[in-house]
Structure formats: C-alpha cells, structure tokens
C-alpha cells in the first residue's frame, strides 16, 4: 500500500497562521513519501514495464503460433488473353468465384534455429457460365501438411536470445530497485537542503533578537558615554546584517520547499516542518561485505555479462553470415481435388517437397574477413571496457565505505566544535552585557558560532547522503541489516 500524502497529513497536519497546510516530516517519512508517490517512481515502473513486456514477447515467440487465414470471397470477371494449344493467344471472357480457408501452426526450434510449420486448408473454385465455358465447381483440400525450414551453417539468433533475454529481465528488476534507492538518495538531499534553510531561519531569528537586544543596550550605554559611537554603529550594522540574513534564509526556504514539493509530486500548496534526524546510528560497514552485496544485487554485474554475450553473438553472426550457407526445406502432406465436397477428403494423395539451398562465396575481396576482424576488435574492446568498469565499480564501493567512516568522525568533531562555539558565544554575550569585552570580540564569537553551526549541518548532511549513496551502490540496508531488492509487481 502506498505511503500517500493523505496519511502523512492525517498523522502530522498542522495549520499555520495563514491557513496554509503544514506537515511535520522526519527524514524517513520524506523517503517513504518519495518512494511511493514521487513522479520518478512512475518513471521507474515504466522502465521496468518496458523490459518486462520485451521478455514476455520473447517467451511468446517461443510458443506455437496459430493463425487462421482465408479469402472469402474472391470474384474475378474479365476478358483475358489465354494461350491456345497451338501457341496463339485469344481473348476469352472469364468469370470465376473462389474461396479458401486454412489454419497454420508455426513453431520455432531454438536449439537449431529452424522452424516447423503445420498447415491444413480447403479451397473451392466456381467457374461461372460464360459464352465459351460451362459452369463447374472444384475443391482442393490439404488435410495436413508439415514443413520444416532449417539453416545448416547459419547464425542461430535464438541460441543467443535464450542466454541474453533472461539476463536483461533480471537486469531490469535490479535496476528498478536501484531507481527506488536513487529516489531515496535524492529525497535525502532535498530534505537536508530544506532542513538547512529552516535551521538557518531559526538561527537568523535568534541572531536578530540578540542583535536588537544588544543594540538597545548599546544605545543606553552610548547615551551615558560608556561606549564610543563607532561601537554603536557596529551594533546597528549587526542588526541590519541580521535582517538581511533572515530575509535571505526565508527566501531560500520558499525556493527549496518548491523543489521538495515538486519532487514528491505534491500539487497543493504545503509547508514542510522538517524534523532533524536523530543521532548518527552506531553501525559499521565492512568493505568486503559491501562489495559482496553489490556483486549479488546490482544490475551492473548483469549488464557486464549481457554486454560480453552480445559481443560474442556479434562475432559469431559475422562468421556465419558470409560463409557457406545451406538451407534445408522439406515438407510432407496430403492433398486431393474433386468436384464434390464429400469426395475431396477421400483417398488423399501424397505431396512431398524437398529442397537444399546452397550459397558459397567465391570472391568477396576480403569483405567477410574484415567484418569478422571488426567484430573481434569490438569484442576485445568490450572485454577490456567491462574489466576496467568492474575494477572501477569495486574501487568506488571501497572508497565510499572508507569515506563514510571519515564522515562519521567529521560529524563528531563538528558537534563538539558547535558546542564549544555556543558556549563561547554565551559567555562572550554575558561578558559584553557587563562591559568586560567589546563588540568586536562579540562579533567574532557570533561569527564563529554561525560558522560551526553551518559546518555541523553540512557534516550531518554529508554523512546521510553518503550512506544512502552506499545503499544505492549495494542495495543493502546496513542499519537494519536487510537487502533492498524489491518485489516488482508485473504489469500483467
């Protein structure tokens, strides 16, 4: 069942003063909402649906194909040139009426690349009265006819499709899971972009309140001559800067709210009240284990295998398409003709056809050899590309895992630095109120606090986005210790 906006609003709806809907969301709720209702989900489902129906088409091609055909009726009335027994031609009026109906059953043989046909049919011919010909009726029956077409040395496309098509479907299934995790990754990015702006607004509001308070204190001190005019001007400048920062932060919120709303596919106006994430969970990722999960779960591994098979298939196709080609066609059936329908199936006669087609190239001036060498070169290039991409694939995962631990340490350092900066600013503010420090030192403490606050937000964002990138690369949830391969609902 989809995690819809309706459920989110039901559990977390708040009303702002303007009457606009506001919903309180955690990071996980943003991810769940994105993976259920975001427009990118529909794109992922459509991509999988296309691959699924392609595989279904392949499977259908392997099954017998039954077709009914017929011409009901075929009337021909004309004056035509008819060759006489003595070799002369004479224009004769002809009028006839014909009907035919039949069934064909066709089955491919994937192991050999051949095809088998079964046919049954019935024809009726009625010659209408003309000045030269009396009317008559004839029937022609084919109770059964079996035909086989078999290339002897030709390229067997079915053999390669049998290897490649299942891999392509498996690749599409894993790609769907990757697309869903990529959506989660994007949701985390947009979540932190907006959360950072919301935290910046709160910090700017606090800074504005503090700046206004200090400016009032500064005015009182200036009136009694305890501070110089330059210090009062610095306090006034701080108020103006606080106003500008607050306005900019509020503008950023509006912009990033629209980005998140559009990504989630929410059409009505809504404000997000984002809940900061909890503390960084305590878990470790083993690089070898992450590589093992990625090898088992990622569609990239199936893509490598598919590309190598396609390269091999191309080489074989070039080798066999321009060499000696022998095609065998054979058929056996029963047939009979009669003037009465009741007699057309009596004592049927054998009907056999056998042909052996042969094509042998005599001189192609090296064209076939060139095509084969080109195919071999492309195969070698594909093998080298796959080998290098596999190395990059493995190295990327190992590096991302190592970086995650460094980012975790960065969060711890940023949190301690923020605590120290907050404590320093509080102490500096108290000392300024009692006149122990000047406004310059207060501004430095405030700037240091704001810088460390932003560094902490950036550190947390970097950690979570890196973690969700690793989830995408491995399709494994290391926090909850579970794979992220999804059961895909087949479109039929």
Q: pLDDT digit string (tens) for 143-157?
A: 999 999 999 888 899
Q: Is residue 182 located within the same domain as residue 118? A: no
Same domain? 295 vs 387:
yes
Same structural domain, 171 and 240? yes
Contact partners, residue 44, CB within 8 Å, separation at least 6? 176, 179, 180, 183
Could you tell me if 99 and 228 lie in one domain?
no
Average pLDDT over residues 102-107: 94
Tell me whether residue 264 is in a domain.
no
- Residues 400, 458, single domain; the answer is yes
- pLDDT confidence of 231, banded at 50, 70, 90? confident
State mean pLDDT over 107-120: 93
48 and 126 housed in the same domain: no
CA gap 475, 470 in Å, rounded: 8
CA atoms within 13 A on the CB side of 56: 9
Q: Could you report the per-residue pLDDT of 190-227, keeping only the tens digit for each?
A: 999 999 888 888 888 877 887 787 778 778 877 777 77
Q: Comparing 180 with 16, which gets the higher pLDDT?
A: 180
Q: Is residue 137 part of a domain?
A: yes
**For the sheet containing 21-25, what is the strand order?**
13-15, 21-25, 270-274
Whether 491 is covered by a domain: the verdict is no
Is residue 288 predicted with pLDDT exceeding 70?
yes
Same domain, 296 and 401: yes
Beta bridge partners of 99: 124
Mean pLDDT of 290-306: 94
| Mean pLDDT (the chain, rounded) | 87
Given this model, what pLDDT does residue 202 score?
A: 83
Nearest to 400, CA basis, from 485, 285, 304, 479: 285
Domain assignment present for residue 217? The answer is yes
Pair 218, 140 in one domain: no
Cα pseudo-dihedral 373, 374, 376, 378, rounded to 10: 160
Please state the rounded mean pLDDT for residues 295-318. 94
Q: Of the spans 18-32, 300-314, 446-460, which averages the highest pLDDT? A: 300-314
* Token duo for residue 386: 């796959």
pLDDT band at 330 (very low <50, low <70, confident <90, very high): very high
Contact 483, 298 (CB under 8 A): no
User: Would you give the end-to-end CA distance of the chain in angstroms?
Assistant: 18
| pTM for this entry | 0.81
Structure tokens at 112: 């050999």
Question: Per the domain annotation, does 459 fall within a domain?
Answer: yes
Prior bond of 115 cis (ω within 30°): no
Query: pLDDT at position 416, please?
Result: 92
CATH of the domain at 422: 1.20.1600.10
Q: Per the structure block, which two tokens stand in for 151? A: 């290339």
Environment class of residue 68 by beta-carbon count within 10 Å: exposed (0-12), middle (13-18) or buried (19+)? exposed
Region 332-361 average pLDDT: 89
Average pLDDT over residues 380-389: 96
Q: What share of the chain is helix, strand, coil (3-state, %, to 5)?
A: 60, 25, 20
Q: With cut-offs at 50, 70 and 90, classify the pLDDT of residue 20.
A: low
Number of neighbouring beta carbons within 10 Å of residue 135: 12
Residue 234 falls inside a structural domain: yes
Q: Which domain holds residue 77?
A: 71-109+114-155+328-360
Distance CA 251, CA 13 (A): 23
Quote the tokens at residue 456: 């902490």
Confidence band (pLDDT; 50, 70, 90) for 452? confident
**Residue recorded with tokens 């052996």:** 356
Residue 316 CA: distances (Å) to CA of 103, 156, 361, 375: 36, 9, 17, 9
Are both 148 and 198 inside the same structural domain? no
Q: How many structural domains compose the chain?
A: 2
Higher pLDDT, 208 or 402: 402
Q: Checking DSSP bridges between strand 270-274 and strand 21-25, what pairing results, if any?
A: parallel
Higher local confidence (pLDDT), 214 or 266: 266
- The pLDDT confidence band at residue 450, using thresholds 50, 70 and 90, is confident
| The pLDDT value given to residue 78 | 84
DSSP conformation class of 341: G
Q: How confident is the model over 177-184, as a mean pLDDT?
A: 94
Tens of pLDDT along 37-62?
Answer: 788 999 999 999 999 999 999 999 99
Quick: pLDDT tens for 252-261. 889 999 999 9
Shared domain for 104 and 188, answered yes or no, is no
Q: How many CB atoms lie within 10 A of CB 482?
A: 9
**Which pLDDT value is given to residue 193?**
92
- Residue 473 scores a pLDDT above 70: yes
Residue 36 lies in a domain: no
Same domain, 296 and 341: no
265 belongs to a structural domain: no
250 or 12: which carries more pLDDT confidence?
Answer: 250
Matching residue, tokens 């606009």 = 20
Q: How far apart are CA 452 and CA 301, in angstroms?
A: 42
Q: 453 and 417, same structural domain? A: yes
């Amino acid at each position: 069942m989809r995690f819809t906006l309706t459920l989110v609003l039901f559990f977390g709806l708040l009303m702002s003063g303007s009457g606009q809907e506001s919903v309180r969301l955690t990071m996980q709720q943003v991810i769940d909402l994105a993976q259920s209702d975001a427009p990118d989900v529909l794109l992922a489902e459509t991509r999988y649906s296309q691959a699924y129906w392609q595989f279904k088409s392949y499977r259908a091609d392997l099954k017998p194909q039954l077709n009914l055909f017929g011409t009901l009726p075929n009337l021909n009335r004309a004056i035509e040139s008819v060759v006489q027994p003595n070799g002369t031609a004479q224009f004769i009026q002809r009028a006839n009426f014909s009907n035919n109906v039949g069934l064909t059953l066709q089955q491919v043989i994937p192991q050999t690349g051949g095809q088998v046909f079964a046919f049954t049919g019935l024809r009726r011919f009625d010659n209408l009265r003309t000045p030269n010909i009396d009317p008559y009726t004839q029937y022609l029956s084919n109770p059964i006819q079996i035909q086989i077409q078999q290339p002897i040395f030709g390229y067997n496309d079915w053999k390669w499709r049998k290897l490649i098509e299942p891999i392509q479907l498996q690749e599409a299934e894993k790609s769907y899971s990757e697309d869903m995790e990529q959506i989660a990754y994007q949701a985390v990015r947009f979540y932190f972009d907006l959360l950072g702006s919301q935290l910046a607004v709160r910090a700017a509001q606090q800074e504005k309140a503090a700046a206004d308070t200090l400016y009032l204190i500064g005015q009182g001190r200036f009136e009694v001559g305890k501070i110089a005019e330059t210090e009062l001007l610095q306090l006034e400048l701080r108020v103006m800067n606080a106003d500008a920062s607050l306005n900019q932060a509020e503008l950023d919120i509006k912009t990033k709210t629209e980005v998140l709303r559009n990504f989630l596919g929410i059409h009505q106006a809504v404000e997000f009240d984002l809940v900061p994430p909890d503390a960084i969970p305590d878990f470790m990722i083993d690089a070898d284990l992450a590589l093992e999960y990625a090898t088992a779960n990622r569609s990239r591994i199936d893509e490598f295998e598919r590309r190598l098979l396609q390269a091999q298939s191309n080489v074989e196709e070039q080798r066999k398409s321009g060499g000696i080609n022998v095609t065998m066609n054979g058929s056996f059936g029963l047939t009979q003709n009669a003037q009465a329908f009741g007699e057309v199936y009596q004592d049927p006669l054998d009907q056999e056809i056998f042909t052996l087609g042969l094509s042998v190239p005599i001189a192609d001036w090296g064209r076939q050899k060139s095509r084969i060498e080109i195919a071999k070169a492309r195969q070698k290039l594909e093998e080298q590309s796959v080998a290098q991409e596999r190395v990059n694939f493995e190295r990327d995962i190992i590096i991302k895992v190592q970086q995650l631990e460094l980012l975790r340490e960065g969060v711890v350092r940023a949190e301690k630095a923020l605590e120290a900066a907050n404590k320093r600013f509080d102490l500096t503010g108290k000392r300024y109120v009692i006149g122990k420090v000047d406004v310059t030192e207060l501004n430095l403490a405030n700037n240091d606090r704001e810088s460390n606050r932003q560094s902490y937000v950036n550190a947390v964002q970097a950690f979570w986005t890196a973690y969700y990138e690793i989830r995408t690369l491995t399709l494994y949830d290391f926090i909850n210790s579970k794979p992220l391969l999804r059961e895909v609902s087949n479109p039929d």
